[in-house]
Structure 1
Amino acid sequence: MRRSVDGDGREIHTERLVLRRLGPGDLPAVVEIQGDPETSRHHPVGPASPEQAAEMLGTWLADWAREGIGYWAVSERGSDAVIGIGGLRWHELDGQPALNLYYRFRPATWGRGYATEMAAATVGWAERIVPGAPVVIVTRDDNKQSVRVAEKLGFVLTGTTAMYGGESLVFRSRGSISDRGAADG
């Protein structure tokens, strides 16, 4: 996969996608995506209300300001329409800090490999920004699409943790995603 990153990490361009830092103007897309019952099918709390989505966006914007890392608005190249949200946030997992990889896409885009493409580019970017930081995907075992993304990226199932309303699977990166086909452009 061909990928390029601008100098300050505000955008990543992959073969088919543009990942850019979320901004306040993305609230309508966040409300739609986070509030969609289908995209929230594997989340025990269910779809987010508009107020909850606004709170999420505020938290995600603060992550970028505080940590220099966070969630992206994902669009297809040549379009400004946000088709997904994804990126990395610091979480404590088993008493240790780890970058948790998150992704949620509009159902109309499912099955096209966008989550895998976004995830590979994001992890490759993080490997340059915070080298050596553990990257994990935590997902419920019934979320087969998320499990498949982890497997495609070469993440390894290392156990479970109490998250997302019960026991969730923990997948860990086995080294550089860039070494597995997400070469820099």
Structure 2
Amino acid sequence: MTSAPDEIRTDRLLLRRVGPGDVRSAIAVLSDPATNRFNPAGPPSAEQAARMLVEWQAHWARDGIGYWAVELPETGEVVGFGGLRHHVLDGEPTFNLFYRFRPRHWGRGYAPEMARAAIDWAGRARPDRPVVIITDPGNAPSQRVAEKLGFAHAGDSGTVEGPVLVWRHQEATMAT
């Protein structure tokens, strides 16, 4: 398998492999109630968010792929986290696209910009593995981002936390 790059630059963002220095940003983003509005489990505690960051680092070490810290290069501010992880959906190996951003940076197009870079990498490195987004049925903002990125609703599924919608990337319909 081809590993994801430790760092990708987009027009406005630096996407870099998460590290121990990102713990404060991870706690701020992941534990914010606004970023968990559609999370049935609610926001994680600071300790849980810090453990999630350690888990993300383990995914990079084990799988050669994971979530990036999404940074504004001119200031070094981490505005969010996102990227791809291995996921098995109904027995099929996929890449799950995840993104979570600080609320003050919502509406600036950072999630689609980060996601396009992740989708582009997956298309080049692993064209055999589909990219999916899994959303809560009520999460209209994430569903709009998914549609903007060229994903189509591919069906419903469930997790231990409840029902979810599955969005599958449709290369031919990729929006710009």
Match of 2:142 in 1: 146
Which among 39, 42, 59 is matched to residue 38 of structure 2? 42
Indicate conservation of the 8 Å contact 2:4/2:65, yes or no: no
Q: Sequence identity of aligned pairs in percent?
A: 52
RMSD over aligned CA atoms reads: 1.8
* TM-score, scaled to structure 1: 0.88
Indicate conservation of the 8 Å contact 1:44/1:164, yes or no: no
Q: Structure 2: any 5+ residue segments left out of the alignment?
A: none
Q: Distance in 1 between matches of 2:138 and 2:84?
A: 22
* TM-score, scaled to structure 2: 0.93
Which among 93, 109, 114 is matched to residue 113 of structure 1? 109
Q: Distance in 2 between matches of 1:84 and 1:10?
A: 16
Q: Distance in 2 between matches of 1:150 and 1:161?
A: 17
- 1:61-72 equivalence runs, <5 A: 61-72=57-68
Match of 1:161 in 2: 157
Shift of 1:8: 7.3
Residues 1:43 and 1:51: Cα distance change in structure 2 (over 3 Å): same
- 1:76-91 equivalence runs, <5 A: 76-91=72-87
String of CA shifts for 1:21-56, please: whole Å, max 9, x gaps: 101110110011111000011111111111111211
Indicate conservation of the 8 Å contact 1:35/1:53, yes or no: yes
Residues 1:90 and 1:8: Cα distance change in structure 2 (over 3 Å): closer
Indicate conservation of the 8 Å contact 1:127/1:176, yes or no: no
Indicate conservation of the 8 Å contact 1:137/1:170, yes or no: yes
Count of residues in correspondence between the two structures: 174
**Runs of 4+, deviation exceeding 3 Å:** none
